[in-house]
Amino acid sequence: MEGLLDHGLRAILTRVGGVDRCVSEFIRVTDQLLPARSFLRVVPELRHGSRTASGVPVRPQLLGSDPACLAENAAQLAELRPAGIDLNFGCPAKTVNRHRGGAVLLDEPELIHRIVAAVRRAVPAHVAVSAKMRLGYEDDARTLDCARAIESAGAGELAVHARTKAHGYRPPAYWESIAGVRAAVRLPVIANGDIWSVEDARRCRAVTGCDALMLGRGMVRSPGLARAIAAARPGAPGGAAAAVAALPWRGVVPLLADFWADVCGRVERRHRAGRLKQWLNYLRVAYPEAQQAFDALRAVHDPAAITPWLERLARETRAVPADALLLID
């Protein structure tokens, strides 16, 4: 989720629990070898064993269409000891697709095969190579061709978003198509799309046959979702563990405080308020209190006004002490 779920929010969401691994925003590869700083800017976790502060592995993701250039960059990235390398064949953005990146490549399974194979050859055997795809570009006629191309090229894992590019993010997600992919390939398949609740996770597992799930917007809307899904897994401790899985609003407030502190420390002043409101815009789907917060801050653009507002919110919810927030200007 480029522009929102970056390393700062990754650190906060993984702290809540339930996440086994993260995949970064894509790193665009065109016609040149990127310096190490380009990878570190998107995935600063590479400085810390490719893990978030709470110890969750982060797998950098590359996007491009030139097999040789992607391979060279993957080899460069491998020197930073990532927790694997992921390849993006799913981005539906028009600008990306127009420049032959993301989901548009799903019309060219042969090229997808060459990309995955080139990257697999370019990195050491211990570096996992995975891929993410949609069901197709305009339609799903080549879904299985693309999945088989990824498998035969040597990828060790495949995540499938259960829509085509043409579907965008409109519901529903076609989970039954993921079941078809899983039946057609031997490598592990991860299901993605429209997992908003524990019940959605149960139904997605039942329909697709996949044990592993990928969360995106659902996790941003409901930071406790992964923890709740993990607590509801068969064999997971029941009772108290399941009862504390959901994250109440009072548990979200300190996350907002930490998010704001992070944003103020590294984002240009004029963009800071927008970043906070962007997350609140997602949170308000799951939390009525987030709607109230969004309304209160809708017309506020000065960071100096937001910090004391968050301090008051913390006091009102008794989630964090009033002095836990400092004005960072």
Residues labelled catalytic: 91
DSSP 237-251: --THHHHTTS--HHH
Closest C-alpha to 216, from 12, 39, 25:
25
Do 7 and 59 form a contact (C-beta atoms < 8 A)?
A: no
The amino acid at 317? T
Q: Output the six-digit token pair for 238.
A: 């029941």
The amino acid at 305? A
Task: Round to whole Å and give the CA distance between 293 and 310.
Answer: 9
Do 26 and 86 form a contact (C-beta atoms < 8 A)?
A: no
How many residues comprise the chain? Answer: 329
Closest C-alpha to 135, from 158, 111, 101:
158
Place of tokens 């590479």: 46
For residue 323, report the phi and psi dihedrals to the nearest 5 degrees.
Answer: -90, 10
Separation of CA 228 from chain center: 17
Do 282 and 43 form a contact (C-beta atoms < 8 A)?
A: no
